[in-house]
Amino acid sequence: MNNHLDKDDTTSSVSSTWIGTANHGFAVYAVEELRRLFPSLKFSYIVPSEIVQFTIGLPQEEVLQLLHANEPMFLRHLHPVHVEIERTEEVEAEAELAAICSHLEDLSGIHSGAKIAIQARKSEGSNFNYSPSEIKKALDAVLIDQYRAEAVVRDADQIISVFVMADSIYMGISRPTDNLSDWSGGAIRFRKEDGQISRAKFKLLEAEYAFGLDFTQYRHAIDLGAAPGGWTSLLLERGLHVTAIDPGALDSSIIRHKRLTFYRRNAANVKLDDNNYDLLVCDMSWNPKQTGKLLKDLLYALQSGGTIILTVKLMHKKPFQTIKELLRELEPELSLQHAKQLFHNREELTLFLIKN
């Protein structure tokens, strides 16, 4: 087993190496966005259509500055590669774990008292006789004993990422904000609740987290295309008054809620009070142009500065064209703040917009 990537190779003034993750089937679009930002990009797929390794002819901090200023829609997560350990079939699990631990010294910036989270993953087909949790346990022990660091899962100062492949192990250290998501691989997990109406609720929860929103700060929301009520239920839990609109039925668990007004009809047949709402959410399985038209027809009810959270279905796998056409339809009344394919999205994107 050899370390054949020196630490300085990825932090030099010449280039840096990364591992990026997208939703399954959408890595090709993440690569396209990266190519637009970084013409020097060289890449290969670790997991087809999902996880990619790429090298950019810029140092790490310059790459991060550009990514934060122009965050890709489809790159869900990334982390730098500072160490690459070559794997051989003959090495036993205990020895390989020891080798991984020994390379902590090649990761600069670990200091006493720091809160550090270990995030370990493996690719399919990477045969080894230990689990990602065992990697974390072994590294946590070394961090605590030798570095006097604090091993944590959330709210870390730094994240050490370990990615195990069939022939290599990649390690890197980074700040949580530099990974685009502080969840391993960007796979943010929520616990399913008893009586939860639908898993669609997770999409709105993730949007609140990813876009830095706090729904408790809003007063009165419109949920367009609300049935069966997953998004409506979350907003009611946050204390909002919700006006839900859908020709379909809402779940019986919320239908009599005192802060709910429900119009069981098409949005075109609903008249709301002007400038009475500060939040509009919409999660509909419609053609984006149709959704955009419905949304635009309801903007009279939203206050200036009001927030919109909208999922956009990528029905024909032409995401850049779809978003461009939709924004052309919605501007200048609305301004895009953030567009992201979240972990809980499937064939869709989530948009965060503000009414001008």
128's CB contacts (< 8 A; 6+ apart) are: 87, 93, 96, 122, 164
131's CB contacts (< 8 A; 6+ apart) are: none
Tokens representing 67?
């990514």
For the chain, the first-to-last Cα distance in angstroms comes to: 58
CB 46 within 8 A of CB 121: no
**What pLDDT tens digit does each residue of the chain (356 aa) get?**
444 444 334 444 589 999 999 999 999 999 999 999 999 999 999 988 999 999 999 999 999 999 999 999 999 999 999 999 988 766 788 888 999 999 999 898 888 899 999 999 988 766 777 889 999 999 999 999 999 999 999 999 999 999 998 889 999 999 999 999 999 999 998 887 777 787 889 999 999 999 999 999 999 999 999 999 999 999 999 999 999 999 999 999 999 999 999 999 998 899 999 999 999 999 987 888 888 889 999 999 999 999 999 999 987 778 899 999 999 889 899 999 999 999 999 889 999 999 99
Q: 200-355: what fold?
A: Rossmann fold (3.40.50)
122 is catalytic: no
Tokens representing 44?
């290969």
Using DSSP's 3-state secondary structure scheme, residue 235 falls into helix
Give pLDDT, residue 2. Answer: 46
Angle at 342 between CA 296 and CA 178, to 5 degrees: 120
Give pLDDT, residue 13. Answer: 57
CB 257 within 8 A of CB 236: yes
Rounded Cα distance between 300 and 280, Å, is 11
- Helices 230-237 and 200-210: angle between axes, nearest 10 degrees: 50
Sign, CA dihedral 84-90-93-98, equals negative
Model-level pTM?
Answer: 0.89
Q: Domain limits of the chain?
A: 3-180, 200-355
Give pLDDT, residue 10. Answer: 40
Radius of gyration of the chain (CA): 23
* Number of other CB atoms surrounding residue 145 within 10 Å: 9
**pLDDT tens track for 36-91:** 999 999 999 998 899 999 999 999 999 999 999 999 999 999 999 999 998 876 67
Q: Is omega for the bond preceding 228 within 30 degrees of 0, making it cis?
A: yes
Q: Write the class of the CATH domain 3-180.
A: alpha beta
Q: E strands within 232-333?
A: 241-245, 260-263, 277-282, 302-313
Q: DSSP string of 95-135?
A: HHHHHHHHGGGGSTT--TT-EEEEEEEE-TT---SS-HHHH
The residue annotated as part of the active site, out of 313, 317, 318, 340, is 313
CA 134 to chain centre: 25
Give pLDDT, residue 89. Answer: 67
